[in-house]
Structure 1
């Protein structure tokens, strides 16, 4: 059974994902929401993976400085 983002039901087997990942899932989702405010991140405007990663780093650093 593949691990899913949806919490398991009682009859399901234990999820392989650690508990801390589920507790912090909203933080990651909120970060992606803030990063997608950048047009280049939201539309994946960059052509190469390296330049897209550079835009992600720039957007994350700017977001971190704002906080």
Structure 2
């Protein structure tokens, strides 16, 4: 009876460990109830960044305004 109980306990521990690892891998709740802050959205390329594009347009307009008209 003792060996059977030991096998059941070890099996339960393994099943618990597998489900715990799966949950962590899927991004479930972190251990001990701690919350991780959400990651800010990542800019993939300069043309995805609105601030970058706005600054480019501002620079281009300034360059165009500073250039003398030879027309």
* Relative contact order higher in (CA < 8 Å, ≥ 6 apart): 1
**Same structural fold, with TM-score higher than 0.5 when normalized by the shorter chain:** no
More helix by share: 2
TM-score (norm 2): 0.30
